[in-house]
Structure 1
Amino acid sequence: MSLPRLDVFTLSHNAAKWPLPSKVLLGCALAASVWLVGDTWLLAPARERLNTLETQAAALQQALTQNAGLADTVEGQARQAQAMQEQVAGLLRQLPGESDMPGLLEDIARLAAANGLVVEGVAVLDEQSQPLYVEEPLQLGAFGAYHDLAAFLSGLGGLSRIVTVHDVVLRSDGPLLRLDFLAKTYRSTLPSGRAGRAVEQRPRFVYDAAFLRDPFQPPTSQADHARGRPTRAPDLARKRGALEAVPVDRFEMVGTLSRGVQTFALLRAASGVHRLAVGDYLGPNHGRVMAIHAGHLELAELFPDEQGAWLERSRTLVLNVNS
């Protein structure tokens, strides 16, 4: 059995005689066929390309946002790097063009005297050449109390020249502490016309032990480390006694002795027990006994400050009840 052949011409010719609803139905069928063919063969590839382009556009927009953030970060880092370069250049211009080691040694000796320290073992080491500057190191050792050593290091940071401290070693040496460290000062390798400018003065840290305790001493033996009050200079021509060559921290009060109306303090050091009265001198800092009580001794010591004036500082030696 064979199917009848579809005669399009006859169908289209007869369609003209169809009623209106049939014509509308036929037109909708033809339009749907055209839309289906067009969507399948023409619009689908274009729609796929559009989706791909939209995905690429979203990725590019995200990358653009990230790159904009990176650009801001790089710009900020570039400004920071430029500021650091300018700061380093300014520091290099402040370095002296010639060595001033004798002046530095004088400053160290002055700071040590101002804080009641004994400096020993000063060794000037070989210079170390760097690309933009020359290091001038020296090794130092100092004896003293904890607060005095801390004030000494703080004073090094306030000198007119740049001084840095390295390899700090602090250890106990009897009643005193020994501080060993490496100090470095610097000079510039720039031409003499570009080096040696004045150091910019900025606020610096100043160690103040007025309300701090010595962590290496029990609370009962803490010394008064107030800044001190101005006083007259001591008599430097006076002949010093034997007890003035021994640091005060090496003495301990072991008792008192009364003879009539006069009271003596008994102080013990490594060499034995010594008897002192009011007005006697003790220690290397022109210390003078001001008062003797049953439980403690009052001492006044004289120190030169950083400007060369003299300050008086009170000190108390507490009776060692276990002696």
Structure 2
Amino acid sequence: MRGASGLPRLTELEIAQLYRNAANWPLPAKALLGGAVVCLLWIAGSTFYLSGSRAQLHQLEVQEGVLEQQVALKTSQAAGLESQARALETMQGRFANLLRQLPADTEVPGLLEDISRLGAANGLVLESIELLGEQPRPLYIELPMQIGVTGAFPDLAAFINGVAGLPRIVTVHDLAFSHANPSLLRLSLVAKTYRYHQQAGDDLRESSQALAESRPPPPIAYDFASLRDPFQSPSRQRVRPVGRPATGPDLARPRGVLESLAVEQFEMVGTLSLGTQTFALLRGAASIHRLAIGDYLGPDHGRITAIHDSHVELAELFPDGQGAWLERSQTLALNVNS
């Protein structure tokens, strides 16, 4: 019997007869039928029993990827743990050093003595020092004081630099200049020192952060000696010669022959050792001179302070034009062609 499509259509009788004759089927047909039954069972089992397990497996795979990323992150963090521990020890040491610079008790009397000494050393007139009220902070207590001094601009600059370089922590704020007279300036400033807050917390992390935020910047070296006063016209002032303040020379000392010649007229040609003493051999005035440490050379009261194989060091004295004396260094290098 054929259907409308032309394909043979099995009736129930034919199917039953086919089932009864299954035992007589050839081996390939039996294998094909068994494979078909197994495929049907696998599809049914996968559809009804394994779908939930497959979804759970997918979730576990996603979690595995996340855990692998976390393991890689923790591994990199563990690799830098030793360096971080050393950095923490360094920070703790710096923190301890800073705490040692913050006195537990007020040291205002000693600070006042240091400020007075700095003012006198720089030729300033200390007009007033007014202690202001304490200002508590989370880790420390500020001790501000209002200071008024009068003097020349380079001396005021040296005074400020000296205050900022005191052994105790002192910061300078609110600088204000005004003319005391045509040649002098009046400086008003607030100097703050600090002491440790006894009731501060012991949390090292919070303390270090608070101290880092409040710590003043490191002082900057200011070469004030060779700069002009910005509060006066350049035509009305003289630029100070460069040099270090020094004690004046003994003007009654008899001058030697070599002190009548400029230092530039000498050149070092070698050294000479006699026992433990070393001499410098200098050529000048058409002859060789043997000089030791402490001998004088040149018109500016130059004294030899050190003798090396490659050069000789001298210290010269000269007036600054304002009644004081300054010292500068001079070097004579070895003439290798001599």
Category of TM-score, reference length = shorter chain: 0.5 to 0.7
CA distance in 2, matches of 1:212, 1:43: 90
Distance 1:101 1:148, change over 3 A: same
Give the SS at the match of 2:322.
Answer: strand
Whether 1:180 aligns to 2:196 is no
Alignment partners' CA distance in 1, 2:24 and 2:41: 23
- Structure 2: which 5+ runs fail to align? 1-9, 199-217, 250-318, 329-338
Matches within 5 A, 1:18-57: 18-57=25-64
What are the superposed Cα offsets for residues 275-295 of structure 1, whole Å, 9 maximum, x if unpaired? xxxxxxxxxxxxxxx8xxxxx
Which stretches in structure 1 are left out of the alignment for 5+ residues? Answer: 191-202, 234-289, 291-297, 303-310, 315-323
Question: 1:16 is paired with a residue of what secondary structure?
Answer: helix
RMSD: 4.4
Worse-superposed segment, 120-129 or 149-158: 120-129
Report 1:69-218 matches (<5 A): 84=91, 87-96=94-103, 99-128=106-135, 135-170=142-177, 176-187=184-195, 206-210=221-225, 212=227, 214-217=229-232
- Tell me if the contact between 1:154 and 1:207 (Cα under 8 Å) persists in the aligned partners: yes
* Structure 1 residue 166: Cα displacement: 2.6
Match among 230, 244, 247 for residue 246 of structure 2: 230
Shift of 1:229: 4.6
**1:50 CA drift (Å):** 0.8
Moved more, 92-101 or 18-27: 92-101
State the aligned residue count: 231
Structure number with greater CO (CA < 8 Å, separation at least 6) is 1
For 1:25 and 1:84, locate their aligned partners in 2 and report how far apart those are by CA, in whole Å. 80
Please, what TM-score do these two structures have when normalized by structure 1?
0.53
Deviation at 1:155, TM superposition (A): 0.8
Q: CA 1:189/1:53 → structure 2, altered by over 3 Å: closer, same or farther?
A: closer
**Distance (whole Å) between structure 2 residues aligned to residue 169 and residue 68 of structure 1:** 57
CA distance in 2, matches of 1:188, 1:13: 106
Secondary structure in 1 matching 2:21: helix
Whichever residue aligns with residue 149 of structure 2, its letter is: A
